[in-house]
Amino acid sequence: MASFSIFPGVIGLSGFWATSFNRHYQKTSATSTFIQYELYDSNGLVGAGFGSTFTADSTGILLNVEDTGDSSTPKSFSKNGTFIGSSGYVSTGDSITLWLTTDGTGNAEASFTVPDFGYSPPPSGGGGGTNTEGGGDTSLSFDSNRAMTVTIDSLRDSGTYDIYQDSTLVVQVPHTLGSTTTANSSGPFPNTYEYTIRYNGTVIYYVPAVVNITKVHCNFW
């Protein structure tokens, strides 16, 4: 399934809320698929009815400014100058304007830029799973000669990533957080075995054994 791997504690605001009251959005709850922000100032929580939420799903990042419990403003938002409504999909770097009204007219409450949440889409291959550590572009693949290419996403923690052929360790890939690591091994690696990438014993990517089909894989996001 889709997920987040980065959870910013604060989203800075500009406009009325910021200039008049020095307010900001502060994270109040988060899971791998859902992040909630409420409105804060120097005295603490302004009120539980002013918040906005971000949800990771198969389409993208869903911003909702009128989620459950949000009884006050904002009532709607615009994205990059285009009116959206009370909920809609956004991307990292989008400019969001929060409106006092349901139709995007009148006064704006505030503006902000959508931060990087480390959004990872669901796997495109067969099967699926849950990746509890983030790192959306981690993969393991084989060419026509069954040589192996391992990619470890830049968002993943530093350490050694183990590649197993069934229960046998066949390759180890050192990785540093902040850089994408790509490693190749000539093999050949028969497709009659299953292959996994493991980090600290946890399976994060899985390629099942192939029987009378072309490669099928599932990524544990």
Percent of the chain exceeding pLDDT 90 equals 50
> Which of 141-145, 184-188, 203-207 has the highest mean predicted lDDT (pLDDT)?
184-188
Average pLDDT, the chain: 84
Domain map (residue ranges) of the chain: 10-113, 139-219
C-alpha 127/C-alpha 219 separation (Å) is: 8
In 94-136, alpha helices (H) = none
Q: What per-residue confidence (pLDDT) applies to 123?
A: 58
pTM score, whole prediction: 0.57
The yes-or-no verdict on residue 72 having pLDDT over 70 is yes
> 2, 117 in Cβ contact below 8 A?
no
Contacts of 71 (CB under 8 A, 6+ apart): 49
Angular region, 132: left φ>0, alpha ψ -120 to 50, beta rest: alpha
> 147, 170 in Cβ contact below 8 A?
no
> 169, 152 in Cβ contact below 8 A?
no
**How many helices (H) and strands (E) would you count in the chain?**
1, 18
CATH 1.10.3470 fits 139-219, yes or no: no
C-alpha 99/C-alpha 103 separation (Å) is: 8
